[in-house]
Amino acid sequence: MKSLSNQTSSIAASMTVAIDTLAKKLKAAGQDIISLGAGEPDFQTPTEIRKAAIDAIELGKTKYVAPIGLEEVRKAVTYKLKKDNQLSYEPNQIILTSGAKQAVFNSLAAIVNPGDEIIIPAPYWVTYPELVKWFNGVPVFIETSPETAFKITPEQLQAAITSKTKAIILNNPCNPSGAVYSKEELQPLTEIIVANDLYCISDEIYEHFCYEKEFVSLASFPQMYERTILINGFSKSHCMTGWRIGYNALPESMAPLISKIQSQAIHHPSTPAQYGALAAIQSGNDFVYKMRDTFKQRRCLLQQKISESLGNEIPLPEGAFYLFVPVNSLYGKKTPDGKIISDSVTLCSYLLESVGLAIVPGAAFGMDSCVRFSYAAAEETLLEAAKRFNLGIQTLR
Ligand SMILES: Cc1ncc(COP(=O)(O)O)c(C=O)c1O
């Protein structure tokens, strides 16, 4: 047989998806597994959204539509961007995608030429570097740490820029760290982005999950609108992960290019799901604000329990719904059957095998010293997960 694509073969599969799939498989096989691996709210999609999609199906709104999506849905997205983010877009600047993940794919497909450097603050969402590599780009990481609240500084950004730098991907609030940049922190970063004529891929999928600070879109800063490819969607805000609906909001000049990618790659996201997204926007933000308040309490609960287990206070993340916990003090210890915990992967494998707890190794996000817990789970699940984590690490020697 002839070889498969070298380019595609060189890409790593998503570790978060792999862990979630493994946890589900073990559960289905009858094992007692608690999974805080997936980045998925545990609530049901709101009734009015489900009803809108069912109505669309019943009314036969199930055919092909324009590759960039239904005009009425794109119009609704422009309304949302105006209302929530004070951004003015026309419907032809909005491209509906199969989840925010595809919006990331579109963004990179639109701008990356071979050898272009794309700056990615670490820790990062697993998908960014792999997609950059898929397009023959070069991911350039800026390291952060718990001490800097997992945020990059203007000095670090400036130092990472070379003549080959094309863009930066900023995910605010951040998965996995929960870091939220304030307006004051973003301002000097945007000045550097503008001064160096970079594109900015701004992944704002967790915008509503800010627990203390106000969320500010990067596209709203001076001279950023025309260089920002905004990414957002409904998976997290409206518990629509399986519906696969997200969007790009773009400068007018870029929209035709992404529309072309879309027309060849997927045509458009599912038509009934687009009607669900329309209902999501029409229903306003009450649902997501209520969910945010619940997550805020869960965040404190999990942070407190895990801090107690580790014997030191983990800082509260300011956004998203993840606790990103430094665990390198456990590295070098031995499991009861003599295996050495050498990194985040061996620690997570040990926890899954010994106490049935699925969490994600920080290595997946480019920071091996940490592990990620999702707290988008019921309180009793979080308490059980914390109990198992404690049991697992207390038996290390
Ligand atoms: C930072 C970030 N961007 C994008 C996505 C993808 O969202 P979707 O499920 O809408 O594709 C995720 C999902 O976990 C994410 O964490």
| pLDDT tens for each residue of 318-344 | 999 999 999 999 999 999 999 999 999
- Beta carbon of 227 within 6 Å of any ligand 1 atom: no
Report the nearest-CA residue for atom 7 of ligand 1: 100
* Per-residue pLDDT band at 110 (split at 50, 70, 90): very high
* Per-residue pLDDT band at 22 (split at 50, 70, 90): confident
Q: Which residues contact 151 (CB under 8 A, 6 or more apart)?
A: 121, 144, 179, 181, 185
- Beta carbon of 171 within 6 Å of any ligand 1 atom: yes
**Residues counted in the chain:** 397
* Per-residue pLDDT band at 12 (split at 50, 70, 90): confident
- Beta carbon of 205 within 6 Å of any ligand 1 atom: yes
Burial class of residue 206 in the structure, from the number of CB atoms within 10 Å of its CB (0-12 exposed, 13-18 middle, 19+ buried): buried
Other CB atoms closer than 10 Å to residue 8's CB: what's the count? 8
* Per-residue pLDDT band at 26 (split at 50, 70, 90): confident
**Token pair for residue 82?**
């105006």
Atom number, ligand 1, closest to the C-alpha of residue 244: 10
* Per-residue pLDDT band at 15 (split at 50, 70, 90): confident
Sequence ranges of the domains in the chain: 6-44+287-394, 62-284
Residue 361: per-residue pLDDT: 95
The widest CA-to-CA distance across the chain, in whole angstroms, is 63
Average pLDDT over residues 164-189: 98
Q: Which residues contact 153 (CB under 8 A, 6 or more apart)?
A: none
Average pLDDT over residues 239-245: 98
For residue 63, pLDDT beyond 90: yes
Atom number, ligand 1, closest to the C-alpha of residue 104: 4
Alpha carbons 153 and 366: distance in angstroms, whole number = 18
Q: What is the DSSP string of 80-94?
A: HHHHHH-----GGGE
Atom number, ligand 1, closest to the C-alpha of residue 234: 10
Pairing of strands 165-171, 117-122: parallel
* Per-residue pLDDT band at 114 (split at 50, 70, 90): very high
Q: How far is the CA of 329 from the centre of ligand 1 (A)?
A: 30
**Number of helices and strands (H, E) in the chain?**
13, 12
> Which contiguous run of DSSP H or E holds residue 281?
helix 271-282
Work out the percent of the chain whose per-residue pLDDT is above 90.
93
Q: Does domain 6-44+287-394 have CATH number 3.40.710.10?
A: no
Q: How far is the CA of 101 from the centre of ligand 1 (A)?
A: 5
Give φ, ψ of 371 to 5 degrees.
-130, 155
The answer to whether 318 and 210 are in contact (CB under 8 A) is: yes
- pLDDT tens sequence across 267-303: 999 999 999 999 999 999 999 999 999 999 999 999 9
- Beta carbon of 125 within 6 Å of any ligand 1 atom: yes
Which of 96, 101, 126 for a ligand 1 pocket mutation test, highest count of atoms within 8 Å of Cβ? 101
Report the nearest-CA residue for atom 13 of ligand 1: 39
CATH no., domain 62-284: 3.40.640.10
- pLDDT tens sequence across 344-359: 999 999 999 999 999 9
Query: Is the whole model's pTM more than 0.85, yes or no?
Result: yes
Residue 17: per-residue pLDDT: 81
* Per-residue pLDDT band at 21 (split at 50, 70, 90): confident
- Beta carbon of 203 within 6 Å of any ligand 1 atom: yes
Q: How far is the CA of 186 from the centre of ligand 1 (A)?
A: 21
Residue predicted with more confidence, 222 or 24: 222
Residue 58: per-residue pLDDT: 98
- Beta carbon of 173 within 6 Å of any ligand 1 atom: no
- Beta carbon of 317 within 6 Å of any ligand 1 atom: no
Alpha carbons 23 and 29: distance in angstroms, whole number = 10
Residue 288: per-residue pLDDT: 97
Q: How far is the CA of 338 from the centre of ligand 1 (A)?
A: 38
**Token pair for residue 344?**
């985040």
pLDDT, averaged across the chain = 96
